[in-house]
Chains A and B, each alone.
Chain A
């Protein structure tokens, strides 16, 4: 099938030369290879992870002792807000995208994602969003209304009615500073949303449409299933927050009235729209980790996942139920007993599919041959820690008890057990697990084990103790506290715990970097794994598979490595046997892959320019909006005329 009609020669609309570099910086900017994009996502995500981690450490230093003045309230509010935003939108979501990008196409035996250039577009727009968000450092401050950014504090009033931050200056000046910060929040997250929405569409189409022959939906690895569910959640959740952010932007910049009670608006509308996105978001963050865990545990137990069907449907059920629980973030907002009951009950029952997953993981371990590699330790650690987060989640669903817990450190403890305990532990497990596939080398196992145990201890010291703080009455989001409430010792210990976490993460990053050169060579299938991605070379060629594999079973690779003996048991097929995998060497030119393109990165450049335009006014604003949209729309236009792959290449 030819992608392009015959007259590609007419280069009338060719604005730029087709990029040809395959190495060097330019090749990364223009790449459309899902693996390179996945690696770039990883680097960007780790960068933001370190940034948000440093923010968290600063917060912990401030809270180490009562009435500390290490950070001003103004700075504290910016840092805690950015810690949340960065961890959710610039670490959590792209961490999922990292694994989806690199692993998922390999797992389904595809050569790339469905829309390679759109994939590159997602990544560059994501970077643009990050740059835009943090441009507040030079534009009068970062967002300071919390990641939840409740109106009207975020809209008409602002956290600083007295003009304290502007030296006791006029209220108007203080409001200008405030509205700039809120523009960063609303526009920055909208840009990030465009990136994520595009990749959600991409992943859905890839999984639905690009599976290797024989890979039915119920033969897909659990990780791929979780990718699909997450992509659907993103597809439906992002529009809701998108509109809320759109409303916020018009309110702070153009005086629209949505959430301002003094003008007839209702701040509760923001809460509903935010959490209608915000709760599915929790599952968006944690389901990728569930998928990763579901790959690691079977491999290192040498058993198939226990209850595959239940596992898949539990994921789907969590995805569905996740839509009916958002208002449990608002029990104390005064919705009335009927609504509180309804949302309390749905919240309780979302624990059922989650419990099914946990028990099925234990069932996978049971009766296997468990190898405690670093990846496996992290996967099991994630199950154990997530269980705690899940159980504290059940205590939240008990509405009257929730009145005490909400907005206290108990909640901080809870969601860190879910997101750090679940997502971060799971993702680190994924890093140890797939690192040899990506780089061809193994990470250092001794360091990995030190990494695990220090992180487990640091994590539990830090967040475990926060449960007590919350129940003993310490509210969230306070920049200081007073002695005499029994919080002093715990806060100090928690700060030490946070530094232990930081040390452990530093060790992980060091391991990632050092193993790149020094790691032992891995080979194609170092873990004796079960799924399709281990059937190609490590690292995979840019076309992934020399020959697209024919899939006949759920754990395809395991079945290829084993045969049924006369007694009905599985026996290992000797290496090189008929069933064994053959990695065929092919000439690059035999397989035609999409060519690099400059337009995805170029079209991303216009978006922050349009965003910054809102900081100006009058003609300058119009000029900047025009420049930004010309860059973006022009690049998209050129993209539409550029063939995906050159003829005769």
Chain B
């Protein structure tokens, strides 16, 4: 946070924002506080251009003020000299800005191509799926096949993470990474989202019918919040997520724990909730690996809503806007999802308070 603090005070001085009393501000989603090499290279360019802009700004405003004060009409009849122009001056203020821009252009172009490079073999491959209004993250490759989380992307530090991002229909099941959705499939009927974790990387739009790459990387363990940055409908503001960076060995441990299927519920209330999960049709949209269905396991694999296998191990739910730790928020969500998150795909199932208690109890067993 030291960098953030320094930045904040610098900003306060530069533009004199008079926000008394708020003291040191936490800016967890600030692009000016990069926490990885990608965001770092973008921020370096910003610093360069920002200071050039400040200098130009000061020069222009000073010229305007000087001109206005020095040449104010102080009365008298004399007519100012009717100067129509000055070719040399005009050439000067055409060429100098052009040269400054060339100076900006060179590092810009270099960085564009650097950022577009493939991160290579060592990168961790993750498939990102944007839906109205939440994110799914699916770990690819041998190490993490089958692990799917929602609104929470865990990554190892000091290792590039290659994201393959797709936008899918909110109402259709995700066919999975081995059957990438093609243009022309109903499942392609998603909308444009934009994946943005300001402290790790700038935005990349997620466009239906295409797979978009983005590389992110974190230097230090920590939680980096992000959110959808392209208008995607009623709950665009409620489409948040977190990137959580771990030390590599901790990450491996996390990944291993996530590959475990869910245990059947043992205590009575949770077991009741487990039954409700099927009888109240939750199972039609949500997958829980290892769920033993009365009607057979196949239905548990459907991927319309988030995979709930390790629900209780997450920090947030419902597009990253509610705390898993807060049973009241979970109860409110189960009671009427539309009320707390307008436009959400989860319908109001008309659950009674007892049913909500039981379902919550079951969900909290999914660690």
Contacts and interface: CB of A to CB of B under 8 A. Distances in A.
A370 B57 contact: no
A159 B205 contact: no
A399 B183 contact: no
Given A150-B231, A337-B116, A401 B42 contact: yes
Interface string B57-83: 100110110011001111001011111
Interface stretch (A277-285, A346-354, A510-518): A346-354
B31 interface: yes
Contacts of A156: 189
A403 B63 contact: no
Interface in B170-190: 170-171, 183-190
Contacts of A397: 108
Contacts of A478: 236-237
A355 B53 contact: no
B210 A334 contact: yes
Interface string B210-229: 10100000000000010111
A648 interface: no
Interface stretch (A5-13, A257-265, A431-439): A257-265
A164 B170 CA distance: 14
Contacts of A358: 60
A303 interface: yes
B101 interface: yes
A171 B26 CA distance: 42
B338 A164 contact: yes
Interface string A374-414: 00000010011001100110110111111111111000000
A593 interface: no
Interface in A126-159: 145-146, 150, 152-153, 156-159
Interface in B13-30: 15, 17, 19, 22, 25-30
B53 A391 contact: yes
A639 interface: no
Contact of A160 (B203, B207, B343): B343
Contacts of B228: 475
Contact of B73 (A336, A341, A369): A369
Interface stretch (A194-202, A479-487, A544-552, A594-602): A479-487
Contact of B80 (A369, A394, A402): A369
A262 B116 contact: no
B71 A366 contact: yes
Nearest to A377: B68
Interface stretch (A246-254, A443-451, A466-474): A466-474
A395 B46 contact: yes
Interface in B33-55: 39, 41-43, 45-46, 49-50, 53
Q: Is the interface of A mostly helix, strand, loop or mixed?
A: helix
Contacts of B208: 152, 261-262, 267
B336 to A, nearest CB: 10
Interface string B102-146: 001100110111011000000000000000100000000000000
B299 interface: no
A341 B84 contact: no
Given A358-B60, A484-B26, A569-B79, A157 B191 contact: yes
Given A261-B209, A306-B85, A308-B84, A344 B169 contact: no
A473 B108 contact: no
Contacts of B315: none
A348 B101 contact: yes
A28 interface: no
Contacts of A162: 234, 338, 343-345, 347
Contact of A407 (B169, B203, B233): B203
A230 B225 CA distance: 44
B237 A479 contact: yes
A310 B90 contact: yes
Q: Which 10 A-B pairs have the closest CB atoms?
A: A403-B202, A473-B29, A261-B209, A478-B237, A159-B233, A365-B67, A307-B85, A262-B189, A337-B116, A404-B31
Given A266-B183, A358-B60, 20 more contacts: A73-B237, A157-B189, A161-B132, A303-B80, A309-B85, A334-B204, A352-B101, A362-B63, A371-B72, A372-B68, A384-B64, A387-B57, A398-B46, A400-B41, A400-B112, A401-B202, A403-B115, A408-B31, A475-B227, A475-B229
